[in-house]
Amino acid sequence: MTNYEEVREELFAAVQMALDEGLLRISEGNLSLRTPDGYVAITPSGIKYKQLKPEEIAIVDLDGRHIDGPCKASSETPMHTAIMRNLPEVGAICHTHSPFAMTFAAAGKDIALINLEAMGCGAPIPVAPWATPGSAAGGEVTVTLFQQRPDLKAVLLRNHGVVAIGENAEDSFDKAFKAEVAAQIYYQALQIGEPVIISRRQLQQTIDTYANFTRKERT
Ligand SMILES: [Zn+2]
């Protein structure tokens, strides 16, 4: 049996960051991370995040069958494994019920490209069609959107929450965090006027400037 200590610790660290930033409350939301041997480490079902221990993180296969760990995997495992099966480039998933993003998910309204956080998620952040929570459909509706736009890193599940994807656990947390900040700022901007959307040209200029900066840093 492979020792999953390292993947559990990596996922646990992302859970702590999400807790610290208010993205996870009580036991809502769930995170997963692909293991080096092709399984999925996922937060357990029904455990309060403040009491979670790394060893309680479950290991399942890509069909959601239990492989290792004392706890039952999250009830939203079918959504996570559907994404992992269909998008092999995804290393980790951060699914949250963060309140501002949930507000847009409840209104069925995309989060527009209004700031750098939205840009980091590949905004506009679309709303996926309704899918029964706990079913593989939740994964399938997001896969369709992620496949249509390779730069997209976060999707809203209608009347539910956020699904953010990343290369690793911290990266997927980062995208979920950015989606929540973008949602909060967009919501606030809508209260005081008409939010100004970043244009395609401004987006490209920002991407080019950033690419130049990182190129210089490497040399
Ligand atoms: Zn959920």
pLDDT in tens, 144-185: 999 999 999 999 999 999 999 999 999 999 999 999 999 999
Alpha carbon of 134 to ligand 1 centroid (Å): 8
Alpha carbon of 132 to ligand 1 centroid (Å): 10
Does 127 score more than 70 pLDDT?
yes
**Of 31-35, 167-171, 188-192, 211-215, where does mean pLDDT reach its minimum?**
211-215
The domains of the chain, with CATH numbers, are 5-218 (3.40.225.10)
Entry pTM: 0.94
Does 117 score more than 70 pLDDT?
yes
Residue 150 half-sphere exposure, CB side, CA atoms within 13 Å? Answer: 2
Alpha carbon of 90 to ligand 1 centroid (Å): 19
Alpha carbon of 35 to ligand 1 centroid (Å): 22
Alpha-carbon gap, residue 114 to 99, rounded angstroms: 18
Does 130 score more than 90 pLDDT?
yes
Does 67 score more than 60 pLDDT?
yes
Query: Length of the chain, please?
Result: 219
DSSP string for residues in 114-174: -SHHHHHTTSSBPEEPP--TTSTHHHHHHHHHHHH-TT--EEEETTTEEEEEESSHHHHHH
Q: What is the DSSP letter of 125?
A: B
51-66 pLDDT, tens digit each: 999 999 999 999 999 9
Alpha carbon of 23 to ligand 1 centroid (Å): 12
80-113 pLDDT, tens digit each: 999 999 999 999 999 999 999 999 999 999 999 9
- Phi first, then psi, for residue 174 (nearest 5°) are -60, -40
Alpha carbon of 123 to ligand 1 centroid (Å): 21
Closest CA to 157 of 203, 93, 64: 93
Specify the pLDDT at position 219: 62
pLDDT band at 217 (very low <50, low <70, confident <90, very high): confident
- Phi first, then psi, for residue 67 (nearest 5°) are -115, -45
Alpha carbon of 76 to ligand 1 centroid (Å): 7
Alpha carbon of 54 to ligand 1 centroid (Å): 21
